[in-house]
């Protein structure tokens, strides 16, 4: 089984470490994993960290906060890697992955690492992200405060951990 992890991230913090550790654990159990980093051109601390691991990864260049071209690039990559499942991490990767997966009929799992709600634009993206979860086959939530907040307004009819 091939599991593709999608994440839009520049630096290495909790979500990025979780993604790397999950891939290493899955590979130890015989799964094939690939990380797709959705980020603009150029290097980043996260891409440099991935260079030091044995995890295969792709840098899917995205030119804007929401780049429809990235959906098509991801669809091509999912087809090329023969993805069986996509695991997305974060609002940008959740939305782009959902659009790509729905077109290809590939199941998607999402991990919510927490919300910042730092400004109006981010809050809009977070609401779009929450809507996308309705199409996930499972939803993992960190930390507990985010989980409680989600229960207050998200009517999710899926597996929710």
CA 64 to chain centre: 17
Q: Is the pLDDT of residue 141 over 60?
A: yes
Share of the chain above pLDDT 90, in %: 53
Q: Is the pLDDT of residue 154 over 90?
A: no
CA 159 to chain centre: 17
Share of the chain above pLDDT 70, in %: 84
Count of helices and strands (H, E) across the chain: 6, 7
Report H helices in the chain. 14-28, 45-51, 68-80, 91-104, 120-132, 144-153
**Segment 13-67, tens digit of pLDDT:** 989 999 999 999 999 999 999 999 999 988 899 999 999 999 999 999 988 667 8
Query: Between 3.40.50.150, 3.40.50.720, 3.40.50.1820, 3.40.50.2000, what CATH number should domain 2-160 receive?
Result: 3.40.50.2000
Judged by average pLDDT, the poorest of 28-37, 106-115, 144-153 is 144-153
115 DSSP assignment: -
Domain boundaries of the chain, sorted by first residue: 2-160
């Amino acid at each position: 089984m091939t599991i593709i992890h999608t994440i839009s991230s520049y630096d290495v913090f909790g979500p990025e470490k979780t993604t790397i550790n999950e891939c290493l654990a899955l590979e130890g159990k015989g799964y094939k994993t690939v990380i797709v980093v959705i980020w603009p051109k150029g290097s980043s601390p996260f891409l440099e960290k991935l260079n030091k691991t044995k995890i295969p990864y792709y840098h899917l260049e995205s030119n804007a906060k929401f780049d429809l071209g990235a959906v098509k690039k991801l669809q091509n990559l999912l087809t090329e890697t023969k993805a069986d499942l996509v695991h997305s991490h974060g609002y940008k990767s959740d939305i782009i992955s959902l659009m790509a997966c729905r077109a290809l009929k590939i199941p998607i799992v999402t991990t919510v690492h927490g919300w910042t709600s730092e400004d109006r634009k981010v809050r809009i993206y977070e609401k779009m992200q929450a809507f996308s979860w309705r199409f996930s086959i499972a939803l993992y939530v960190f930390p507990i405060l985010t989980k409680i907040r989600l229960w207050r307004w998200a009517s999710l009819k899926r597996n929710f951990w």
